[in-house]
Amino acid sequence: MPILVKNFFQDMLSLNTIDERYREMMDLLGNLYFEGPIEGAPKLNYMSLKENYVVSAAMTICDALKKNMVSAVPTLMDYFDNILLNANTKSMQFDNFWINQTYERAVIFGCVYYILSMDSDYPESSLKKIGSLIHDERDKAYFNVFKNVADKARDLKETEIVQGADVVQQNVEASDGKRIILADKRYSDFTRIVQAMIQDAYFTHADKSAVTATEVGEMMLKLLGVSTSWKSMLQKAFSRDNPMKTFDNLRDAAQSYWQKRANI
């Protein structure tokens, strides 16, 4: 039976609002309307499978999978089976959506894989189950257009996380003479400045979700090997002298730097 697709993107113009993380996915999808992924494989038919429907269908499936983690496999199978209909016609309605070709289904689930791979909380084991549903070699070629790029991006992100952790560990474990630490009597100044940066939205999670002051503060303190909690640092920073003096001094330091460097 046809599936209900959420109206994420009503028309092609609305795709301009898509999350920046999925822009490369859109480029990959767009290329398939000009040529197939391998020799002899047909290109996508733009009239029967428009981009805004493909992405909306993929996001509908992603939402369902994330909301039903306990029953993820039955949910995945339901969408995989019901999105394909053996018919010669096709409905492009959000509340009555299906596709006729298995390679079209492979494209949609390739997008599902790509989107979920950008979610660091979505388990690797569940991602593999998505790919295991594609058996036909031609269909795999369509699916792999998205999977291969997503896997590279995910591996790169994991490498960057490990390298970032190594930097922290190296600083914490460095000899006392080489370790980067907070200068004496600058703990409160540092805390005030970091808190102001948080307040002005300098930081975000990689998935664009909001961060808390505690998350950022604890990360900064860990980098510098400070064992005091962020909450305690914050209390001390605002219980002492006028907090705004910190920013007056910081502005003077910035002005001195830029005058020397750029004659500003």
Domain shared by 36 and 107, yes or no: yes
pLDDT for res 7: 87
Tokens of 125: 């084991």
Domain shared by 136 and 216, yes or no: no
Domain shared by 135 and 82, yes or no: yes
Domain shared by 128 and 250, yes or no: no
Q: Domain total for the chain?
A: 2
Domain shared by 117 and 235, yes or no: no
In sequence order, what DSSP letters do the residues of 36-104 get, joined into one string?
A: -SSTTPPPP-TTTS-HHHHHHHHHHHHHHHHHTSTTHHHHHHHHHHHTB---S---EETTEE-BS-HHH
Domain shared by 127 and 79, yes or no: yes
Give one word for 14, left, alpha or beta, with left for phi > 0 and alpha for psi -120 to 50. Answer: alpha
Does residue 79 sit within a domain? yes
Domain shared by 140 and 18, yes or no: yes
Residue 85: give the domain boundaries. 13-157
**Average pLDDT of each block of 10 consecutive residues along the chain (264 residues)?**
83 88 91 94 90 94 91 92 76 81 95 91 88 93 94 70 57 67 86 91 85 88 84 84 88 89 79
Tokens of 182: 């907070």
Domain final position from 157, 191, 209: 157
pLDDT for res 148: 92
Domain shared by 116 and 214, yes or no: no
d(CA 78, CA 80) in angstroms, rounded, equals 6
Q: By the 8 A CB rule, do 29 and 112 touch?
A: no
Residue found under tokens 């992924």: 37
Domain shared by 149 and 190, yes or no: no
pLDDT for res 46: 87
Does residue 73 sit within a domain? yes
Angle subtended at Cα 197 by Cα 119 and Cα 183, rounded to the nearest 5 degrees: 115
Q: pTM for the full model? A: 0.62
Domain shared by 132 and 198, yes or no: no
131 CA to centre of own chain: 20
d(CA 243, CA 231) in angstroms, rounded, equals 16
pLDDT for res 91: 64
Rg (CA), the chain: 25
